[in-house]
Amino acid sequence: MITNVEQKLERYFQQQTEAGRFSGTVLVAREGDILLKKGYGFANYETSEKNKPANIYTIGSMTKALVTLSILLFRDVLKYLAVSR
């Protein structure tokens, strides 16, 4: 059964893809239940290969920035909690 949340997610990512603002694979889950697992746009524009949930992406150095940002955000949360006590 498709829920309203699933419909909204599907519509949002489809609109972003059609507008050229998104191409990739999405996995959204809540409390262990998968709400959306789908590929949007192309994995390879030259061959017109479409994105699929099983695609593997080379993300290179992107993880370094994400880890750094996560650590900084966590540090700020800890500071806030320490001050709030």
- pLDDT tens digits, 1-53: 567 888 999 999 999 999 999 998 999 988 889 989 999 999 988 999 999 99
Write out the residue range of the structural domain in which residue 40 sits. Answer: 4-84
Spatial distance between the Cα atoms of 71 and 31, rounded to a whole number of angstroms? 25
**33 half-sphere exposure, CB direction, 13 A CA radius:** 8
Q: Is the pTM of this model over 0.75?
A: no
Q: Which of 2, 76, 74 is nearest to 38 (CA)?
A: 2
Residue at 49: amino acid letter? E
Domains: count for the chain: 1
Q: Which of 48, 56, 46, 59 is nearest to 25 (CA)?
A: 56
